[in-house]
């Protein structure tokens, strides 16, 4: 009986504990719900406390300069990007490829400007990347550019007119060039100014060196790559600077030319022009830096193997060479010659022993006596123009100026 009473007492106690625990659980749950409702009520009472950036209006691009897919752009120009709203000071900046030195201006405003320290080279494909999205540019009010924007453009070729000006300044042309005013002549040491001038040449004036024959004027085409004077000058510059000699101002020629101007590395061998006349008697006359330095009897090609009439620049030189080929009758020859200056394929000014000079005797070359060939060779440097013509020489004592 005692055991039964004791068991009932334990059951009653356990049951009471369970009731108490259940009651406590209900109180805790109600208390948590009440606290949550109070927090929600407080949050609703403060609408700005959990404000989303999605409620801020996005920003947009209003313009980019240079414009998208533009061609023929100066590589020295400023890049400008305008937005619908001012940007936050902490907003990320656009990126530019290829990378070049320069500075961004306009942080905190609606217009960003990139000013290059020098600029892009000619025929460069440029990409401007303006970041968008959550990591992109941001307005002062928090608005975002919806997505990344890329703008591409291409720079134009450097000006041939500026090429003429620089080669004249360095002494590779039979002309002088002077700027119209001191303020319009880029400082030689200012690389940025020289690059800008390569795209937009300053105004100026060309004038002929005196003392050259008027025939030389025929080969000047200012501002055009078609002129033989320019081609010969480029070849001379290429030869002086160890570049491939093709007479074309490619990127390497331009880069070297701008460096030479900055360093004042002028032409050290002067300017030469030669005329081989097929008049009777045949002669070769050479002018150097406006002075006639040689006038001698010469032999040009026989009717079966004539020397080409026209003008071409010297492109290959040898102190001596064994010339090989075939005579008009089909027999082979191998002759040792000296002081060789080729101006066309198979045609050169050089020494060759003959019993006389002044008449057609060669197989296309311009032959000279030994002493005269030795005198001519130092003047006939790479790029020197050689004209072969019929008739007599008429030197000009009062050359007219070319167009500017």
pLDDT tens string 136-193: 999 999 999 999 999 999 999 999 999 999 999 999 999 999 999 876 777 666 888 9
Q: What's the pLDDT at 395?
A: 43
Q: What's the pLDDT at 398?
A: 37
Q: What's the pLDDT at 161?
A: 97
Q: What's the pLDDT at 129?
A: 98
Q: What's the pLDDT at 181?
A: 82
SS3 per-residue string spanning the chain = CHHHHHHHHHHHHHHHHHHHHHHHHHHHHHHHHHHHHHHHHHHHHCHHHHCCHHHCCCCCEEEEECCCCEEEECCCCCEEEEECCCECCCCCCCEEECCCCEEEECCCCCEEEEEECCCCCCCCEEEEEECCCCCCCEECCCCECCCCEEEEEEECCCCHHHHHHHHHHCCCCCEEEEECCHHHCCCCCCHHHHHHHHHCCCCEEEEECCCCCHHHHHHCCCCCCCCHHHHHHHHHHHHHCCCCCCCCCCHHHHHHHHHHHHHCCCCCCCCEEEEEECCCCCEEEEEECCEEEEEEECECECCCCCCCCEEEECCEEEEEEEEEEECCCCCEEEEEEEEEEEEECCEEEEECCCCCCCCCCECCCEEECHHHHHHHCCCCCCCCEEEEECCCCCCCCCCCCCCC
Average the pLDDT over 307-317 and give the result: 98
Of 400 and 309, more confident: 309
Class of domain 272-389: mainly beta
Average the pLDDT over 345-349 and give the result: 96
Average the pLDDT over 89-97 and give the result: 95
Average the pLDDT over 253-280 and give the result: 96
Average the pLDDT over 76-90 and give the result: 96
Query: Mean pLDDT, the chain, as a whole number?
Result: 86
Q: What's the pLDDT at 44?
A: 41
For domain 56-155, give the CATH number. 2.60.40.3710
Q: What's the pLDDT at 392?
A: 57
Average the pLDDT over 238-244 and give the result: 97
396, 213 in Cβ contact below 8 A? yes
User: How many other C-beta atoms can be found within 10 angstroms of the C-beta atom of residue 107?
Assistant: 13
CATH 2.60.40.3710 residue ranges of the chain are 56-155
Does the structure show a pLDDT above 80 at 196? yes
Give the side-chain half-sphere CA count within 13 A for 339. Answer: 20
Does the structure show a pLDDT above 60 at 8? no
Q: What percent of the chain clears pLDDT 90, i.e. is strictly above it?
A: 79
Q: What's the pLDDT at 14?
A: 38
CATH 2.40.440.10 residue ranges of the chain are 272-389
**Measured between alpha carbons, how far is 389 from 216 in angstroms, rounded to an integer?**
12
**Measured between alpha carbons, how far is 298 from 367 in angstroms, rounded to an integer?**
5
The dihedrals phi and psi of 60, each to the nearest 5 degrees, come to -140, 160
Of 348 and 401, more confident: 348
Of 44 and 301, more confident: 301
**Measured between alpha carbons, how far is 249 from 199 in angstroms, rounded to an integer?**
14
**Measured between alpha carbons, how far is 185 from 97 in angstroms, rounded to an integer?**
30
Does the structure show a pLDDT above 90 at 397? no
**Measured between alpha carbons, how far is 286 from 291 in angstroms, rounded to an integer?**
8
**Measured between alpha carbons, how far is 201 from 404 in angstroms, rounded to an integer?**
11
**Measured between alpha carbons, how far is 337 from 366 in angstroms, rounded to an integer?**
12
Does the structure show a pLDDT above 60 at 4? no
Q: What's the pLDDT at 184?
A: 73
Q: What's the pLDDT at 54?
A: 55
pLDDT tens per residue across span 358-372: 999 999 999 999 999
Does the structure show a pLDDT above 90 at 38? no
Average the pLDDT over 328-334 and give the result: 95
């Amino acid at each position: 009986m005692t055991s039964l009473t004791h068991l009932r007492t334990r059951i009653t106690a356990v049951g009471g504990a369970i009731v108490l625990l259940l009651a406590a659980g209900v109180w805790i749950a109600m208390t948590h719900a009440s606290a949550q409702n109070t927090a929600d009520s407080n949050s609703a009472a403060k609408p700005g406390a959990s404000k989303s950036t999605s409620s801020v209006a996005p920003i947009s691009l209003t313009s980019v300069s240079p414009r998208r897919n533009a061609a023929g752009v100066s590589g020295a120009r400023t890049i400008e990007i305008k937005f619908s709203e001012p940007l936050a000071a902490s907003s990320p900046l656009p990126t530019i490829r290829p990378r070049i030195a320069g500075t961004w201006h306009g942080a905190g405003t609606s217009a960003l400007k990139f000013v290059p320290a020098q600029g892009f080279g000619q025929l460069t494909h440029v990409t401007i990347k303006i970041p968008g999205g959550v990591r992109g540019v941001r307005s002062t009010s928090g608005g975002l550019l919806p997505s990344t924007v890329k703008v591409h453009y291409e720079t134009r070729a450097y000006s041939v007119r500026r090429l003429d000006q620089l080669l004249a300044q360095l002494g590779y042309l039979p002309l002088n060039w002077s700027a119209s005013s001191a303020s319009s002549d880029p400082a030689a040491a200012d690389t940025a100014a020289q690059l800008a001038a390569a795209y937009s040449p300053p105004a100026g004036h060309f004038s002929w060196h005196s003392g050259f024959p008027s025939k030389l004027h025929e080969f000047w085409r200012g501002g055009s790559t078609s002129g033989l004077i320019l081609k010969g000058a480029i070849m001379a510059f290429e030869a002086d600077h160890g570049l491939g000699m093709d007479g074309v101002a490619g990127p390497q020629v331009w880069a070297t030319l701008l460096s030479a101007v900055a360093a004042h590395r002028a032409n050290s061998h002067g300017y030469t022009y030669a005329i081989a006349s097929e008049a009777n008697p045949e002669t070769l006359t050479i002018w150097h830096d406006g002075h006639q330095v040689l006038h001698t009897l010469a032999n040009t090609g026989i009717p079966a193997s004539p020397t080409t009439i026209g003008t071409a620049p010297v492109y290959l030189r040898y102190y001596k060479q064994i010339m090989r080929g075939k005579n008009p009758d089909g027999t082979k020859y191998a002759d040792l010659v000296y002081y060789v200056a080729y101006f066309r394929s198979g045609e050169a000014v050089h020494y060759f022993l003959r019993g006389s000079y002044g008449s057609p005797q060669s197989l296309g070359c311009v032959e000279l006596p030994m002493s005269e060939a030795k005198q001519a060779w130092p003047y006939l440097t790479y790029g020197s123009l050689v004209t072969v013509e019929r008739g007599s020489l008429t030197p000009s004592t009062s050359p007219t100026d070319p167009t500017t």
